[in-house]
Amino acid sequence: MKQNLKNARRSPWSAIAVILAGLILTGSGFVAATASTSAASDSPYTASQVDQGHKLFLSNCASCHGKNAEGTANAPSLYGVGAASVLFQVETGRMPGAISGPQLEVKPVQFKQSDIDAMAAWVASLAPGPSAPTAAYLAQKGDASRGGQIFRINCAMCHNAVGAGGALTGGKYAPALTHTSAAHIYEAMITGPQNMPVFSNSDLTLTDKTDIITYLQAVQTNPSIGGFDLGNLGPVVEGLFMWIFMLGGLVLLTMWLGAKSN
C-alpha cells in the first residue's frame, strides 16, 4: 500500500493534477474578486454618454491632451484622473484653457452640463480614478468647528484661514473659496488641481472632508460679526486701512483746524 502511494506521488500525472487544481483555485478567486469589485464600483454613466463624451473630447480637447487622452507636450495624460477632475476643471471654466500661464483661471463655462457629464463619463472609462461626490454625501453636515481646525492645519497656509485665497510663488495663487460649491471643494481635495496637493482618504478621511466643507459653507453664509471684513486678508490689510484712512483722516483734520485758526 505504501509503495503504491509512493509511486503515485512520483507519477507525472500527479504533478499535472496539482497544477490544474492550483489554477482552478486561483482563477476562481480572481473571478470572485473581480466580480465583487465591479459590483462595488458600478459606473453611474451610460454607454451613450461615454460615446458622446469621446466625440466631444476629440472635438475640443484632443489637440492638447492627445486623441486617446495620452497627453502631449502641452497637456498631461488624463488616464486615472477620474470623472471628478473633469467635472472640477470644466465646470469652473478652467478648461478649455485659454492661454498658457502659471495657472489656469476661472472663466465662464463653455459647455452644457450634459456635455460635461459625457466627457467625464468617457475619461472615467479610460482607467480607475476619483469619482464625483454623490448627492447623499454632499447633503451631509459635519462639525464646522472641527472642520475649521482641520482647514487651518492643512489649507490655511495657502487659502487663508477663512478661505479668502492668497498669492503663491511664480505668479501662482490659491483661489478664494468664498463662492466655491461643496462639490468643487470635495473634487479639489481628491484631485489636487493646479498647485494643490491631493488629500486622499488616508490623509483626510471622508468625515474630515465633510467637516471642512461644512466649515467653509458656514464662512460663506455667515456675515462678519466684527464689522467690515476687508477681504478677510488679515492684519496687513487691517493695518493698511488704519494707516491710510485713520491716520490720513487725523492729518486732514489737523490741517483743517490749523487753517481755521489762521
Higher local confidence (pLDDT), 259 or 136: 136
d(CA 185, CA 175): 11
Phi-psi region of 42 (alpha: psi -120 to 50; beta: other; left: phi over 0): beta
- Segment 58-87, tens digit of pLDDT: 999 999 999 999 999 888 899 999 999 999
Mean pLDDT of 100-119: 89
Domains in the chain, ordered, with CATH? 47-126 (1.10.760.10), 135-232 (1.10.760)
Assess whether pLDDT exceeds 50 at residue 41: no
Supply 224's cell numbers.
462678519
**Interval 162-188: pLDDT, tens:** 888 888 888 888 999 999 999 999 999
Lowest mean pLDDT among 32-41, 42-51, 240-249: 32-41
Residue type, 194: Q
Which of 21 and 250 is assigned the larger pLDDT? Answer: 250
Dist CA 123 CA 60 (whole Å): 14
pLDDT above 50 (res 262): yes
Identity of residue 179: H
CA angle 225–230–232, rounded 5-degree value:
75
The reported pLDDT for the residue numbered 39 is 33
In contact, 88 and 193? CB cutoff 8 Å: yes
What burial letters (b/e) apply to 172-193, b meaning 16+ CB within 10 Å? ebbbbbeebebbbbbbbbbbeb
For residue 35, what pLDDT is reported?
40
Amino acid at 2: K
**pTM for the full predicted model:** 0.70
Q: Which pLDDT band holds residue 214 (cuts at 50, 70, 90)? A: very high
Q: How is 81-96 classified by DSSP, letter by letter?
A: -HHHHHHHHHHTT--S
Closest CA to 141 of 214, 52, 34: 214
Four-residue CA torsion sign, 226, 227, 231, 234: negative
Answer whether residue 43 shows pLDDT above 50: yes
- Report which secondary-structure segment, H or E, holds 75: none
* Res. 117: pLDDT tops 80: yes
